[in-house]
Amino acid sequence: MRFGARLHRAIAERGPLCVGIDPHPGLLDAWGLPRDVSGLERFALTAAEALGDTVAVVKPQSAFFEAYGSKGVAVLERAIAELRAAGALVLLDVKRGDIGSTMAAYAAAYLTDGSPLAADAVTVSPYLGFGSLAPAVEAATASGRGVFALALTSNPEGASVQRATAADGRSVAQAVVDEAAALNAGVEPLGDVGLVVGATLAELGVDLSDLRGPVLAPGFGAQGATVADLRRLFGADLSGVLPTTSRDVLKHGPGAATLRSAVARVRDSLDV
């Protein structure tokens, strides 16, 4: 089954919420865990236990695992396996973007059957040219996985590139949207190529009407975005939008039961 179809089914069964697993040092402190691999493992596996059978999409942030070297990556591999075994779709936040054989190697690591780091989808950066993502898109399509390309991020530095005007008069972000839409053309119920669009943006400024794919909307909850912001940016129909939160849920650890309760509260607040 294609990724878009699996995502559509997961949203129907579990709701649209995406929860990040971000083992930030401050969160390890808040959970009373040491800032070492043992603390990382306890944090990640507790979160996986709480979220894996509850949330449609779980988004581990790879950088927080990589910070601990090979042992941290081993924890990430285990967390991915446990989340997928519990039925969650795993969107690995790696934001990889490169060219040629290097992009193909990233695709082999994250989007190929048999790799211990293979997730259901990954975040990718199109800012070496959208065409540079072809190895990742091809690998994802071949294995029933997906990619989410950065389009409009909420960091203030992003606008200088993403809202710049391309040679054809479109914004760079709109060009990314249009490339993704072309890859999703004719695919139902959702395409396999999604976009990352910050939920805290003051304005959207791009046309998503032809995308036919999912939108990952980070910034919901602790970073300030509300349901009203989601509707303001994406319209009344939020069926393909994945509001994403991390701290609003993770701050309720270290108990798996309290994390599940936090998920329920946040999901109920979406009212979509």
Peptide bond into 116 cis (omega under 30): no
Closest to 218 in 3D by CA, of 155, 131, 141, 145: 155
Q: Where are the alpha helices (DSSP H) in 62-133?
A: 62-66, 69-85, 100-110
Which residue in 59, 71, 95, 251 is the catalytic one? Answer: 95
**Cβ(233)–Cβ(240) below 8 Å:** no
* 3-class state of residue 219 by DSSP: coil
Closest to 209 in 3D by CA, of 230, 232, 237: 237
**What single-letter DSSP state applies at residue 158?**
G
Residue 94 Cα distances to 33, 69, 149, 255, angstroms = 24, 15, 11, 27
Report how far apart the first and last C-alpha atoms of the chain are (Å, whole number). 25
Give CA 242 to chain center in angstroms: 8
* 3-class state of residue 1 by DSSP: coil
**Paired tokens of 210:** 């032809």
**Cβ(106)–Cβ(79) below 8 Å:** no
Give yes or no: 95 in active site: yes
Rounded Cα–Cα distance for residues 136 and 103 (Å): 7
Write out the catalytic residue numbers.
95
